[in-house]
A = this chain, B = another copy of it.
Amino acid sequence: MRSAVIHGAGDVRVEDRPAPHLLTPGDAVLRVVAACVCGSDLWNYRGVSPVRSPRPIGHELVGVVEDLGADVTSVGVGDLVVVPFSLNCGECQACRAGYPSVCDSMTMVGGLDRAGLQVDGAQGEQVRIPLAQASLRTLGISESEAEARGLIPHLLALSDVMPTGYHAATSAQVGPGDVVAVVGDGAVGLSAVLAARLRGASRIIVMSRHEDRAALAREFGATDVIAERGAEATAAVRALLDGELADAALECVGTKESMDQALAVVRGGGNVGFVGVPAGGPELHVRDLFTRNIGVKGGMASARHYLDVLLPRVLDGTIEPGKVFTHTVSIDDVATAYELMDAREAIKVLVRP
């Protein structure tokens, strides 16, 4: 089968790899319907995280079940499923508490499973998915109907980007009537805007300097867009809010600057939800948090856990998170997808096998 393999910085190739088959009774084999490129895939592509040896890439997909291990009863052959980017056991303490991304057996799509076996990358034609019983969920809609209704991009967004934005909002305890500031206008930041709206925020301020992204932010529910950064951004938020600050800030970048920005625009007693993967290891000063009573929580999203909340909203048309996909390429052109995202010409690129 055809699959994307990253060899090093700037070097993503489509190669023929062995077709996957069941390796354990807990596996499923899926035909990929749609996959995409994540901002975190760009770390390898940009050389920020070096690629030690060539490996399959991609961790977000919608697929159709082709084969099932004997232990998997939660889905059936032929079912259309969303695969959450992190696979989980469903039984450990973190899973039971609704945090599948910190499952004791957490396995990334495209990574190695707990037995050390390669899990196929999502940017390809087929994948073996371990921990399928807890990780997969029947969507209740057929591939053909989803295609006909144009739902595939929106369902694909449920694999990672939309639940990641939603995780920022839940981590910051966003609720009805809240004023929310979103730091970051990438696909995750835009999804965080949508999540804040879904959770009832009354005002959503997004920080953006890109006209196309600001436009989509407004479509997703942003009420205000500010272009300033740093202390000027905080002043701009105060100017919008009659001198006050946001109840919650959603940090969707992962740098020290973005975390400081999120902390600065939140009122005393407010909360920062952070989902930008920390780059450069920013640290939080406990005394600053203490003095202002600011809460901080975040991490990799509970994608599987949120599927039960988000899927019905996609199926009934309340949210259209797939609008973050500004471009679509075929698997043979996957290198173009990386170029478009690296150059910020695309917000997010959908890849069809």
Interface, chain A (partner B; CB < 8 A): 93-94, 97-99, 101-103, 171, 244-245, 247, 259, 267-271, 274, 277-278, 281-287, 289-300, 302
Taking a contact as CB atoms under 8 Å apart, the answer to whether A297 and B300 are in contact is: no
Chosen A-B contacts, 26 in total, with CB atoms closer than 8 Å, are A94-B293, A97-B267, A98-B269, A99-B268, A102-B269, A102-B293, A171-B295, A259-B286, A277-B290, A278-B286, A281-B286, A283-B283, A283-B285, A283-B286, A284-B284, A284-B289, A289-B298, A290-B298, A290-B299, A290-B300, A293-B298, A293-B300, A294-B297, A294-B299, A295-B296, A297-B297
Taking a contact as CB atoms under 8 Å apart, the answer to whether A283 and B284 are in contact is: yes
A274 to B97, CA, bound (A): 22
**Are A274 and B297 CB-contacts (below 8 A) given A97-B269, A268-B94, A285-B281?**
no
Taking a contact as CB atoms under 8 Å apart, the answer to whether B289 and A297 are in contact is: yes
Taking a contact as CB atoms under 8 Å apart, the answer to whether A102 and B292 are in contact is: yes
Taking a contact as CB atoms under 8 Å apart, the answer to whether A282 and B286 are in contact is: yes
Q: Which of B102, B278, B293, B300 contacts A299 (CB 8 A)?
A: B293
A295 to B274, CA, bound (A): 10
The residue among A267, A269, A282, A287 with the most chain B CB atoms within 10 A of its own CB is A269
A271 to B298, CA, bound (A): 11
Residues on B with beta carbons closer than 8 Å to the beta carbon of A259: 286
Q: Which of B98, B99, B102, B268 contacts A102 (CB 8 A)?
A: B268
Q: Which of B93, B245, B270 contacts A268 (CB 8 A)?
A: B93
Residues on B with beta carbons closer than 8 Å to the beta carbon of A287: 278, 281
A171 to B267, CA, bound (A): 15
Q: Which of B97, B267, B291 contacts A93 (CB 8 A)?
A: B267
Q: List the B residue with the shortest CB-CB distance to A269.
A: B99
A247 to B94, CA, bound (A): 10
Residues on B with beta carbons closer than 8 Å to the beta carbon of A274: 286, 290
**Are A293 and B93 CB-contacts (below 8 A) given A283-B285, A286-B259, A286-B284?**
no
Taking a contact as CB atoms under 8 Å apart, the answer to whether B286 and A292 are in contact is: no
Taking a contact as CB atoms under 8 Å apart, the answer to whether B93 and A244 are in contact is: yes
Residues on B with beta carbons closer than 8 Å to the beta carbon of A247: 97
Q: A101-B293, A102-B291, A291-B299 are in contact. List 18 more A-B contacts (CB 8 A).
A: A93-B244, A93-B267, A93-B268, A94-B269, A94-B293, A97-B267, A98-B269, A102-B293, A277-B290, A278-B286, A284-B284, A284-B286, A284-B296, A289-B296, A292-B299, A293-B299, A296-B296, A296-B297
Residues on B with beta carbons closer than 8 Å to the beta carbon of A245: 93
Residues on B with beta carbons closer than 8 Å to the beta carbon of A286: 259, 274, 278, 281-284
Q: Which 7 A-B pairs have the closest CB atoms?
A: A295-B297, A102-B268, A99-B269, A293-B299, A94-B268, A284-B284, A290-B299
Taking a contact as CB atoms under 8 Å apart, the answer to whether B281 and A297 are in contact is: no
A293 to B271, CA, bound (A): 14
Residues on B with beta carbons closer than 8 Å to the beta carbon of A267: 93-94, 97
Residues on B with beta carbons closer than 8 Å to the beta carbon of A298: 289-290, 293
Q: List the B residue with the shortest CB-CB distance to A305.
A: B269
Residues on B with beta carbons closer than 8 Å to the beta carbon of A281: 285-287
A101 to B101, CA, bound (A): 35
